[in-house]
Amino acid sequence: MRLSRLLAPRTVAHAHCDLPCGVYDPAQARIEAESVKAIMEKYQQNEDPVFRTRALIIKEQRAELVKHHLWVLWTDYFKPPHFEKYPQLHELFNKATKQAGAAGGKGKVDPAEAQTLLDQIAEIDKIFWETKQA
């Protein structure tokens, strides 16, 4: 009994997230989404099949990174109090990750689809920074 008391932590720390919050930022998803849009624009401007194939491969890789960065925010940064305060947040993340996937970034080559994704990320970004100020 004495040994367990001796080894028990004297201070218990509670954190909002699993690492200091400075590691989370929607900018990572936005930068990759901007790449997706730029690649789509270049794809539309070029008829060379080799170029287009390379563009599609890179676009899909970048779209997968968008999904990854959004999922990290959704599952690691945002907590139940955030979802209570912003009830639209789950749906917004769901739509954005689908937009980055086959429904948009990975499945399409229309820059307007990428702009929709960027707009959704901007909404997430706004909420994110509001939570950082709380």
Q: What is the mean pLDDT of residues 82-104?
A: 95
Do 120 and 89 contact (CB within 8 A), yes or no?
A: no
* pTM higher than 0.75: yes
Residues 6+ apart with CB under 8 A from 79: 16, 17
pLDDT reported for residue 13: 52
What is the Cα–Cα distance from 48 to 70, expressed in whole angstroms?
33
Domain 25-133 class, CATH top level: mainly alpha
pLDDT tens across 1-48, in order? 566 666 666 665 555 545 555 678 999 999 999 999 999 999 999 999
Measured CA angle at 129 (ends 107, 77), to 5 deg? 65
Q: Where are the domains of the chain?
A: 25-133
pLDDT reported for residue 102: 87
3-class secondary structure, 95:
helix
